[in-house]
Each structure stands twice: as structure tokens, then as C-alpha cells.
Amino acid sequence: MDHPGEAPAGTGKSRSRRLPVWRMGLAGGLVGILCCVGPTVLALLGLVSAGTAFTWSTDLYDNYAWWFRLGGLAVLVLLVWLALRRRDQCSIAGIRRWRRRLLGVLAIAVATYLTLYAMTTWLGTFA
């Protein structure tokens, strides 16, 4: 008997049919906080000064934070839609079937956003 997380018996494929919860959640959370993470990464790489990164991230966060958050949500929705479509589960029944994993995707995205926000805010105290 085939299980939801396994390939059909006899196919020889070890490909999992599970949703890539961590990858989708991390991608959505990262895009949502890119306004702060982008300048911080540039400063950590030594491409801009810490003061410049702080100014850029403050300006981006103050003026465009909701655009970045909506972009992160759009990435999250697109990745979930593609994952469900690839599994022929892009329907209300498919969403119900995967609802726990989809809630996990959302929780990981929010946790990623909050963790990176806290980290960039903490790093901003050194600028």
C-alpha cells in the first residue's frame, strides 16, 4: 500500500512526495525581511560600511516594509501553489489534506521573518 510520503511501489523512485516545508517557509520569510537583510549582508561582506547599511535598511524598512512583506507572502503562495500543483493536489481537498504542513510553512516563514528582524535590529545597535 502506498503512503502519501512515498513513491508508488515498484517504480524504483525514492523521490519523496512530501511538501518541502522548510524551503518554502525560509524563502517566504527571507523575501519578507529582505529590506533589512540585504543591506546587512552587504555590510557583513564588507561591500558597504555598517553606517551605510544601517541607513539603507532603516530607509527601506520605514518606507517599503509592507511591499517586502507582501512580496514574501506572494513568494510563499507561489511556492505552495507550485508544490501542490506538482502533486496534483491543487484543490480544496488537497489543501485540507496538507493543512498541517501548510500551517508549518506559515509558521516557519513567520519565525524566519522574526528571527532575521531581531538579528538585524541587534546588529544595527553596533552601527
The mean pLDDT value for 100-121 works out to 93
Judge whether residue 12 has pLDDT over 60. Answer: no
Question: Does 6 reside within a domain?
Answer: no
Question: What pLDDT, on the 0 to 100 scale, is given for residue 1?
Answer: 40
98 is in which domain, residue-wise? Answer: 21-122
The mean pLDDT value for 114-118 works out to 93
Question: Does 127 reside within a domain?
Answer: no
pLDDT tier at 16 (50, 70, 90 boundaries)? low
Q: Measured between alpha carbons, how far is 71 from 94 in angstroms, rounded to an integer?
A: 24
Indicate the number of domains in the chain: 1
Question: Does 3 reside within a domain?
Answer: no
Question: Does 57 reside within a domain?
Answer: yes
Question: Does 63 reside within a domain?
Answer: yes
pLDDT in tens, 67-105: 999 999 999 999 999 988 888 877 888 888 888 999 999
Question: Does 9 reside within a domain?
Answer: no
What is the full DSSP assignment across 21-83? HHHHHHHHHHHHTHHHHHHHHHHHTTSS-HHHHHHHHHHHHHHHHHHHHHHHHHHHHHHHHHH
